[in-house]
Amino acid sequence: MGATIHGVLERNARKFPDKDAFITATNRLTYGDMNRIANRLARYLQDEGVQRGDRIAVMSRNHEHFFYAFFACMKIGAIPMPMNIRLTPTELTAIFQNSNTAGVLYENEHSETVAALKAGSSLKHCFSIPESAEASAIFSGENLNMPMDSRDVCEILFTSGTTGTPKGVVFNHDRILAIATAVSANFSLTHKDSMLTLMPLSHSAPLNTFFMSGFYCGASHVIGDFTPKGFLNWIHQEKTTFSFAAPVAYLLAAKDADLSSYDLSSMRVFAYGGGPLALASYHQVKKAFQNENFYQVYGLTEAGPNGILLYPEEHLEKAGSIGKHPTVNMEIRVVRPDGTDSAPNEYGEIVLSGDSLMLEYDNNPEETNAAIKEGWLYTGDIAYRDEDGYIYIVDRKKDIIISGGMNIYPREVEEVLAKHDAVLESCVVGVPHEEWGETVKAVLVLKENVTEEELRVFAAEHLATFKCPRIYSFVDELPRNASGKILKQQVKRDCSLSRSCR
């Protein structure tokens, strides 16, 4: 049978029944509380017709409601699919269609979005999480004890594809718990830790890597949405010991005018990912927080995410590297196109292997076979190892833009811009940004005049805010190679070809 994620919740409820485990701005719930609520909600969902194997989208901010839905689904064998709540109905509709979504569990602020999604769709179940939790109070809070296997699919996360079509990344209990055991070992986590989770739980690192690793050990979890003051205040009030964030979050908090009034001494780990901390930025946050325990984590959703660490003592000498030491149950290589290991300082593609790799892309065997070859996940990240074995990423094979820890796929943005009547052609690239790592720039060839403001409004109607271009440039033509393909790297370098580059 093997261990399951909801089984870990039940174990924690037995071991730590009265421990504050889920702390939000409005509530404090013990492991015992969460287990009882999830059991009742699971029975309610069963009574309403949700079946084992149903894919259920979860639309919730970082809140106890997220976990009500997440655990309740697992307890009856339904498959929770955490959604990025910043996505538009158009984007969500594409996801739901591709994944055969059976239902949605949502917070009330998303009721209008859900109503729009339900119209003309095949959704069978739409439940308000708070209303359903209230209605479920009549059901038993005892464990359901449904027979489950650790190899059962238990979660689907989504990441946009290079074509703009989101891909579902499928995990079972075994894979996620492999991440939890590895990361908890790497960071020496115990039930005494207090995990600060302010990055969106719809993303793989906050959920699978860091929530799950603390959860596995019976740690406490402080859960909310990020603001610089909120970040500092939670540490000060709850004496948290561990956080994960995008580098920009730490940089913004480090600039807070009232920083000196917060006691941050309880923190033993500041983990970050989604981009490097420049050496100057590392010195800035180290000084601001009076703490040098910053760990860079490299991975991607398809790997759990789980991969490699850059340890605090390595930041000075190896700034810009993602590290050399894989996490406990992972291996990492940099390989040539023929699959052989590249030599030091030779460019190759990063590949990962280990117990936490995804099972597959949902309903997409072709993409799965392209990504996983002989047990190795091909990441699309082009990198090299230095003479000491440290890995440096030099480019992304698929042109992903990473802004504030969010992955943005240029082709998706380009396809939206192409629908505007004034746009003949577009090239979307990431350009350096001091705080966010990169920001989105659109370089356009126009058919007719249009203002930047008109383009901004148009993009915002079809794309989540974080995907919308912040910079627009207009050119007479885009540079191409002999095959007619646009030279994106030249576009990024050559601001001189733009009439309004800034």
pLDDT tens, 468-486?
999 999 999 988 753 366 7
pLDDT score at 359: 98
Of residues 90 and 236, the one with the higher pLDDT is 236
pLDDT tens, 51-88?
999 999 999 999 999 999 999 999 999 999 999 998 88
| Displacement of CA 274 from its chain's centroid (Å) | 9
pLDDT score at 275: 80
In a domain, 492, yes or no: yes
Query: In the chain, how many domains are there?
Result: 1
**111-125, 211-225, 409-423 — most confident range:** 211-225
Extract the tokens encoding 159. Answer: 């990441």
Q: Residue 499: which pLDDT band, with cuts at 50, 70 and 90?
A: very low
pLDDT score at 394: 76
| CB atoms closer than 10 angstroms to residue 150 | 17
Question: % helix / strand / coil in the chain, to the nearest 5?
Answer: 35, 25, 40
Question: What's the distance, Cα to Cα, between the start and end of the chain in Å?
Answer: 58
> How many Cα atoms are found within 13 Å in the side-chain-facing hemisphere of 205?
23
Phi, psi dihedral angles at 318 (to 5 degrees): -120, 40
pLDDT above 70 as % of the chain: 95
In a domain, 464, yes or no: yes
Extract the tokens encoding 147. Answer: 């027979």
In a domain, 345, yes or no: no
Of residues 301 and 119, the one with the higher pLDDT is 301
User: Which residues touch 290 (CB under 8 Å, ≥6 apart)?
Assistant: 264, 265
Of residues 163 and 194, the one with the higher pLDDT is 194
Q: Kindly tell me if the per-residue pLDDT of 293 is higher than 70.
A: yes
Q: Which of 343, 389, 27, 327 minimizes the C-alpha distance to 186?
A: 327
In a domain, 415, yes or no: yes
pLDDT score at 502: 38
pLDDT score at 498: 46
Asked if residues 99 and 168 have their Cβ atoms less than 8 Å apart, the reply is: yes
Token pair 């894979």 in the structure block, residue: 175
Pairing type for strands 360-361 and 372-373 reads: unpaired
In a domain, 412, yes or no: yes
In a domain, 311, yes or no: no
Q: Which of 205, 402, 206, 219 minimizes the C-alpha distance to 306?
A: 205
pLDDT tens, 418-451?
899 999 999 999 999 988 999 999 999 999 999 9
Q: Which of 5-19, 280-294, 387-401 is the least confident region?
A: 387-401
Q: Which domain holds residue 482?
A: 401-497
In a domain, 465, yes or no: yes
Phi, psi dihedral angles at 172 (to 5 degrees): -110, 180
Q: Kindly tell me if the per-residue pLDDT of 314 is higher than 60.
A: yes
Extract the tokens encoding 34. Answer: 């969460």
Alpha-carbon distance values, 66 to 16, 22, 24, 72, 82 (Å): 21, 11, 11, 10, 8
Q: How much is the average pLDDT of 352-377?
A: 97
In a domain, 453, yes or no: yes
The rounded mean pLDDT for the chain is 92
H/E element holding 441?
strand 437-446
CATH code where residue 442 lies: 3.30.300.30
**DSSP letter for each residue of 110-123:** GHHHHHHHHTTS--
pLDDT score at 484: 61
| Displacement of CA 369 from its chain's centroid (Å) | 23
